[in-house]
Amino acid sequence: MPRTYRHDKPRLRIDGQTRTYIAADDRGLAYGDGIFRTMAVDNGRIMARDFQFARLAHDCAALDIRGPSAAWLDDEFGQLIETGEAGVAKITVTRGSGGRGYTPPVPASPRVIVAFTPGRTAPPDPLALDIATTCLACQPLFAGVKHLNRLEQVWARREAASRARPDLAMTDTEGRLVATTMRNLVLMDTAGVWHTPSLARCGVAGATRARLMHAAEQAGRPVVEVDIQAASVGEFCAAIACNSVSGATAISRIARHRFEHSPAMARRAAAWLAATA
Amino acid sequence: MPRTYRHDKPRLRIDGQTRTYIAADDRGLAYGDGIFRTMAVDNGRIMARDFQFARLAHDCAALDIRGPSAAWLDDEFGQLIETGEAGVAKITVTRGSGGRGYTPPVPASPRVIVAFTPGRTAPPDPLALDIATTCLACQPLFAGVKHLNRLEQVWARREAASRARPDLAMTDTEGRLVATTMRNLVLMDTAGVWHTPSLARCGVAGATRARLMHAAEQAGRPVVEVDIQAASVGEFCAAIACNSVSGATAISRIARHRFEHSPAMARRAAAWLAATA
């Protein structure tokens, strides 16, 4: 007989134990000193596990935090997810508890929170994206890393809610297109070449973006990482947004520019994602 | 008979109860969606309580979080701090627990953590400041607010530790002097006018900085908020660094520029701070 859980509530394990509380002196809470990943679960399996765990390891290394092993994470999720379930998994790794002040403890004892929330909903498709007035700051030090300093995304999601939009495109403070409030962007030019905003200054390098870039590379059609001024989106004829929970979604427009060929691009992306799941 | 506590461990109260754990779905942990203040306690009293609570209220408002009342905070600290004690108090206010995703819950139930750590140590005096290679990103949206997104300060403190320096001066990514890793800066020019870096793009507007500006204003010698390129520190003849835990500290040099009159400036600052404690 399967265990029963209250639906929609996340099931949590913290440092290898079933818990819902963490020590109040955690540095993730105090300073956002940690990282996280969010992943789709289908049929009881984490989708694209290898890409996800590779990004997790990359981000832990970027903050010099000792991350959990893939085998340990597999065990943890094995305790949380029933055979055949679908939902959303999340891993948070913080530098652990610390004393007063910004200086990290040495050695640190990292804290790992794994969570699973049953159920998933499909995103709006296609996405029509206005551009958020909330901009992303340029900070090359942590660019690409999915760390816990996410006030900009919180603000952008508030803006989306107040404008009754499912998502918004975001630029950095210098007008370059970076991402949406929760998704990476890939745009196709009229020659069929795929481009994605460089994440050298800000933004989160998602695992789904990495999967698309990997598949495109394998197909001999590498995605070009490039600076794209928001005012230049008219140079592209198709665009998709992607994240790990909802995959690739066609974009019907960014600001006032409409993309004609996004559904075909989204189908190609979905095929590549299916091949790397 | 006074209660006894293990020394140096913070004493904590969370949402009005004696606790050391918080719910793992707290948005302060997930996204740094919250603010904090750190305060000196002398003789059982929070120093400059009114300035501190005013800055706390300002920062809560900046993130649209309903903050605790001053009377409630007084009660909470009354439970934590014994008559006559000295140490460091801290207040953290987060947006409380939330579900999956960046969008803040509406309505939110903010969480308040108050902490008191007995004991205080004097800072090095004077401070000799090299300039950190860790720069502050320009993000006007949250500039001045002491929010929980503090990875830059964590990185800068790591840098200070690795260079065996007690503190470092920090610039923004465009070369403007902003603060130290944990203190605000005030510099005096040869005409005796005090200047402090504008915090319109980044940095934390500390309560001690506010107290100095208030006292200077009252004395008819207002502090000028201004952009100061790090390369221009040679235009100043004195400098101090200040925070709420250690007050005003003379700066002997920033990078290679030495300040001759910093001790006198620090004495003036200390007198002004004593008058606003």
Chain segment B258-273, per-residue pLDDT in tens: 999 999 999 999 999 9
Q: What is the DSSP string of B182-204?
A: S-EEEEEETTS-EEEE--SSSSB
CA angle A74, A80, A86 (to 5 degrees): 95
Maximum mean pLDDT: which of A112-121, B56-65, B121-130: B56-65
The 10 Å CB-count burial string (b at 16+, else e) for B113-149 is bbbbbbeeeebebbbebbbbebbbbbbebbbbbbbbb
Specify the pLDDT at position B5: 38
DSSP state of B223: P
Contact between residue A143 and residue A202 where contact means Cβ atoms under 8 Å apart: yes
Q: Do A23 and B19 lie within an 8 Å CB cutoff?
A: no
- The C-alpha atoms of residue A156 and residue A203 are separated, in whole angstroms, by 13
Q: Give residues with Cβ within 8 angstroms of A155, minimum separation 6.
A: A134, B141
Interaxial angle between packed helices B70-80 and B49-62, expressed in degrees from 0 to 180 and rounded to the nearest 10: 120
CB B253 within 8 A of CB B126: no
Q: Give the contacts of A31 (CB within 8 A, at least 6 positions apart).
A: A102, B32, B148, B149, B150, B151, B153, B154
- How far apart are the CA of A189 and the nearest CA of chain B, in angstroms? 31
Instruction: Tell me whether residues B141 and A135 touch, CB distance under 8 A.
Output: yes
Q: Chain B residue with minimal CA distance to A150?
A: B31
Report d(CA B92, CA A235) in Å as an integer. Answer: 47
What is the C-alpha to C-alpha distance for residues B140 and B177, in angstroms, rounded to an integer?
16
List of chain B residues whose C-beta atoms are within 8 Å of the C-beta of residue A175: none
**Is it the case that residue B34 has pLDDT exceeding 60?**
yes
Helix (H) or strand (E) holding A262: helix A262-275
Which residues, 6 or more positions from B230, have their beta carbon under 8 angstroms from its beta carbon?
Answer: B131, B169, B171, B175, B176, B177, B254, B255
Q: Is the peptide bond before A107 cis (omega within 30 degrees of 0)?
A: yes
Nearest-neighbour CA in chain A from B74: distance (Å)? 21
Closest chain A CA to residue B120? A100
Give the mean model confidence (pLDDT) for residues B66-74.
98
Size of interface A-B (CB pairs under 8 A): 163
List Cβ neighbours of A75 (8 Å cut-off, separation of 6 or more): none
Which one of B95, B149, B181 would you mutate to disrupt binding with A, by most A Cβ within 10 Å of its Cβ? B149
Q: What is the pLDDT of residues B179-191, one digit of tens each?
A: 999 999 999 999 9
Contact list, B26 vs chain A (CB under 8 Å): 29
pLDDT score for B125: 86
Residues of chain A with pLDDT under 50: 1-7
From residue A74, give the alpha-carbon distance in Å to each of A44, A69, B97, B216. 11, 9, 27, 60
Residue of B nearest to A139 (CA): B137
For residue range A163-178, list pLDDT tens digits in order: 999 999 999 999 999 9
In this prediction, residue B8 carries a pLDDT of 66
pLDDT at B2 over 70: no
With a cut of 50, say whether residue B88 has pLDDT above it. yes
Q: How many CB atoms lie within 10 A of CB B68?
A: 20
Question: What 3-state DSSP class applies to A191?
Answer: coil
Strands (E), B191-265: 194-197, 224-226, 236-243, 247-254, 257-258
Nearest Cβ partner for B150 among A12, A32, A140: A32
Contact at CB, A151 and B149, closer than 8 angstroms: yes
Looking at A1-10, B32-41, B46-55, B113-122, which range is the least confident one? Answer: A1-10
Is A135 in Cβ contact with B31 (below 8 Å)? no
CB contact under 8 A, A24 and B23: no
Mutant choice from A154, A157, A173, A174 vs B, greatest count of B C-beta within 10 A: A154
Q: Is the Cβ pair A141, B154 closer than 8 Å?
A: no
**Cβ neighbours of residue A53 under 8 Å, at least 6 residues apart?**
A70, A73
Selected for mutation to probe chain B from A18, A29, A148 (highest B CB count within 10 Å) is A29
Q: For an interface test with B, which of A149, A162, A183 has the most B Cβ atoms less than 10 Å from its Cβ? A: A149
User: Domains in chain B, start-ordered, CATH in brackets?
Assistant: 11-118 (3.30.470.10), 127-275 (3.20.10.10)
From the list A22, A104, A158, the residue facing B29 with the nearest CB is A22
Q: Any bridge partners for residue A179, and if so which?
A: A170
Q: Are A62 and A142 in contact (CB under 8 A)?
A: yes
* A62 neighbourhood in chain B, CB within 8 Å: none
Burial B246-265, CB ≥16 within 10 A → b, else e:
bbbbbbbbbeebebeebbeb
Task: Dig out the tokens for B202 from the structure.
Answer: 């980044």
Which of A31, A38, A41, A134 to mutate to test binding with chain B, by most B CBs within 10 Å of its CB? A31
Say what the pLDDT of residue A120 is. Answer: 84
Residues of chain A positioned with their CB less than 8 A from the CB of B88: 100
ipTM: 0.95
Contact predicate B196/B187, CB 8 Å: yes
Q: What is the reported pLDDT for A8?
A: 66
**pLDDT of A6:** 39
pLDDT score, position B262? 98
CA B134 to chain A, closest CA, distance in angstroms equals 8
Mean pLDDT across chain B: 95
Helices (H) and strands (E) in chain B, counts: 6, 15
* Burial state string for A40-77 with b = 16 or more CB within 10 A and e = fewer than 16: bbeeebbbbbebbbebbebbbebbebebbeeeebeebb
Asked if A104 contacts B158 with a C-beta cutoff of 8 angstroms, the reply is yes
At residue A115, φ and ψ (nearest 5 deg) are -140, 145
Order the strands of the A45-46 sheet from edge to edge.
A11-14, A111-118, A87-94, A34-42, A45-46
Locate the chain B residue with the closest alpha carbon to A88. B100
C-alpha dihedral (B85, B86, B87, B91), degrees to nearest 10: 70
- Predicted pLDDT at A2: 38
Q: Which amino acid is at B214?
A: H
Burial degree of B236 (CB within 10 A; 0-12, 13-18, 19+):
buried
Which regions of B15-73 does DSSP assign to beta strands (E)? Answer: 21-23, 34-42, 45-46
Cβ–Cβ gap B10/A25 under 8 Å: yes
CA distance B155 to A101: 12
Per CB-CB distance under 8 Å, the chain B contacts of A30 are 36, 92, 148, 150
